[in-house]
């Protein structure tokens, strides 16, 4: 998604005029202004339509919450890790927020075509000039919780207090699903998020009042092992959770260069385990595309505690929930492995 300061959006995707409401007085006094566990989106095969829904572009970046207090602005990942050292330019750009205010959004890196690029975000030091923050919600205002106000009212408050500049923008919201799907397809963006206009902010919940739908084929997977090779490993062994079980999905070789292999290996080698973490192994055969892990092939594997998460692109899931042509994109240090499931397409 492209920031207002840097480009003009195509006419096909214009932001809706914000709903002008009076500044709400029905807020809750909050004893301590701090990180709030983010509300989650439910993955769905199709998005709902109707006047009660609004739509936003699903950005390809990091979820980022900003907490402004008298001591300055602190940036938190979705898991509550402080990211100021990595994105201090964004913290500085949000200093104009009112004191004791908490907002929610996404941080992205914009590539040469002004599209959000997760791999570029991973190399943030070389891409720092392209780092941008899109705010889409506000959780606390001047020490008072606004979690129980409808989304449309929270958005109106956010528009009034957000310091927009070359680093910070308000996310674009539209009311026509067809318009945003067409835009996402044309610009090869990640997907679409649908939110009920009157939804409350539900910390840590995936209630279905916010939904997401991927247009492209890609998602996060948990690393459960690897096969040895040069620069640490030959292939990563990855899967996703189904209930409490970690399910094997693929071995991944594509998308690496020697430097990337060394970087990834440095982040996973300490997780070595004596036990295979996948509930659906061994496979009876290697399968049509040779991706199966038989008992014989498993003897070559090094198993890991399932704590590391990677982002992959792929052609499709097979009927057996295996990946065809998976490609490594980046590590996802902001993701809780237990939340990684097969996302519906």
pLDDT tens digit sequence for 21-33: 344 445 555 547 8
Q: Which range scores top for mean pLDDT: 56-70, 177-191, 289-303?
A: 56-70
Q: Compute the distance between CA of residue 264 and CA of residue 180 in angstroms, rounded to an integer.
A: 35
Q: Hey, what CATH class is 218-339 in? A: mainly beta
What local confidence, expressed as pLDDT, does residue 316 receive? 82
| The overall pTM is greater than 0.75 | no
Nearest to 23 by CA among 173, 199, 159, 196: 159
| 173 or 217, higher pLDDT | 173
* Mean pLDDT value across the chain: 86
What local confidence, expressed as pLDDT, does residue 10 receive? 36
What local confidence, expressed as pLDDT, does residue 84 receive? 94
Is residue 104 pLDDT above 90, yes or no?
yes
Mean pLDDT throughout 173-198?
Answer: 90
pLDDT band (50, 70, 90) for residue 59 = confident
What local confidence, expressed as pLDDT, does residue 160 receive? 97
Is residue 12 pLDDT above 90, yes or no?
no
Nearest to 60 by CA among 175, 189, 183, 228: 189
Is residue 6 pLDDT above 60, yes or no?
no
First to last CA, the chain: 21
Token pair 């301590």: residue: 32
What local confidence, expressed as pLDDT, does residue 27 receive? 56
- Kind of pairing between the strands at 210-214 and 191-196: antiparallel
Token pair 């889409």: residue: 136
Domain positions in the chain are 31-214, 218-339
Q: Which range scores top for mean pLDDT: 54-63, 108-117, 196-205?
A: 196-205
Q: Compute the distance between CA of residue 86 and CA of residue 102 in angstroms, rounded to an integer.
A: 19
Tokens of 126: 């070389």
Report the percentage of the chain scoring pLDDT > 70.
84
> CB 232: neighbour CB atoms within 10 A?
18
pLDDT digit string (tens) for 290-341? Answer: 678 999 999 999 999 999 999 998 878 888 899 988 999 999 988 899 999 9
What local confidence, expressed as pLDDT, does residue 85 receive? 92
What dihedral do alpha carbons 111, 117, 121, 126 form, nearest 10°?
-20
Mean pLDDT throughout 186-195?
Answer: 87
| 284 or 97, higher pLDDT | 97
Token pair 């409401």: residue: 21
What local confidence, expressed as pLDDT, does residue 255 receive? 92
Mean pLDDT throughout 273-292?
Answer: 85
What local confidence, expressed as pLDDT, does residue 47 receive? 94
Tokens of 69: 């207090």
Helix (H, G, I), strand (E, B) or coil at 247: strand
Mean pLDDT throughout 125-130?
Answer: 58
Contact at 8 Å (CB) between 248 and 216? no
Please report how many Cα atoms fall inside a 13 Å half-sphere around the Cα of residue 314, on the Cβ side: 25
Q: Compute the distance between CA of residue 345 and CA of residue 191 in angstroms, rounded to an integer.
A: 10
pLDDT band (50, 70, 90) for residue 121 = low
Is residue 126 pLDDT above 70, yes or no?
no
Nearest to 41 by CA among 213, 195, 218, 211: 211
pLDDT band (50, 70, 90) for residue 343 = confident
Q: Compute the distance between CA of residue 237 and CA of residue 226 in angstroms, rounded to an integer.
A: 5
What local confidence, expressed as pLDDT, does residue 271 receive? 98
CATH superfamily of 31-214: DNA ligase/mRNA capping enzyme (3.30.470.30)
């Amino acid at each position: 998604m492209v920031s207002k300061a840097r480009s003009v959006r195509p006419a096909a995707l214009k932001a809706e005029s914000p709903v002008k409401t009076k500044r709400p007085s029905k807020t809750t006094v909050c004893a301590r202004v701090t990180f709030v566990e983010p509300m989650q989106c439910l993955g769905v095969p199709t998005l709902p339509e109707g006047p009660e829904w609004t739509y936003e572009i699903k950005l390809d970046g990091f979820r980022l919450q900003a907490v402004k207090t008298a001591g300055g602005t602190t940036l938190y990942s979705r898991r509550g890790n402080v990211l100021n050292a990595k994105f201090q330019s964004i913290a500085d750009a949000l200093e104009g927020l009112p004191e004791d205010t908490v907002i929610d959004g996404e941080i992205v890196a914009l590539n040469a075509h002004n599209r959000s690029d997760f791999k570029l975000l991973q190399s943030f030091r070389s891409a720092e000039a392209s780092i941008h923050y899109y705010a889409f919600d506000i959780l606390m205002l001047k020490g008072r919780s606004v979690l129980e106000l409808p989304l449309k009212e929270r958005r109106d408050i956010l528009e009034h207090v957000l310091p927009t500049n070359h680093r910070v923008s308000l996310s674009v919201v539209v009311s026509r699903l067809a318009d945003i799907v067409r835009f996402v397809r044309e610009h090869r963006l990640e997907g679409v998020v649908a939110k009920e206009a009157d939804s409350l902010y539900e910390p840590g919940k995936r209630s279905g009042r916010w939904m997401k739908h991927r247009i492209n084929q890609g998602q996060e997977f948990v690393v459960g092992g690897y096969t040895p090779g040069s620069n640490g490993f030959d292939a990563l062994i990855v899967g996703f959770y189904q209930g409490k079980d970690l399910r094997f999905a693929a071995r991944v070789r594509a998308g690496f260069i020697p430097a990337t292999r060394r970087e990834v290996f440095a982040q996973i080698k300490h997780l070595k385990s004596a036990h295979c973490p996948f509930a659906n192994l061994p496979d009876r055969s290697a399968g049509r595309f040779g991706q199966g892990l038989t008992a014989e092939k498993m003897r070559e594997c090094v198993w890991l505690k399932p704590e590391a998460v990677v982002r992959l692109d792929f052609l499709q899931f097979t009927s057996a929930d295996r990946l065809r042509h998976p490609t490594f994109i980046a590590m996802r240090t902001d993701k809780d492995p237990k939340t990684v499931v097969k996302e519906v397409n």
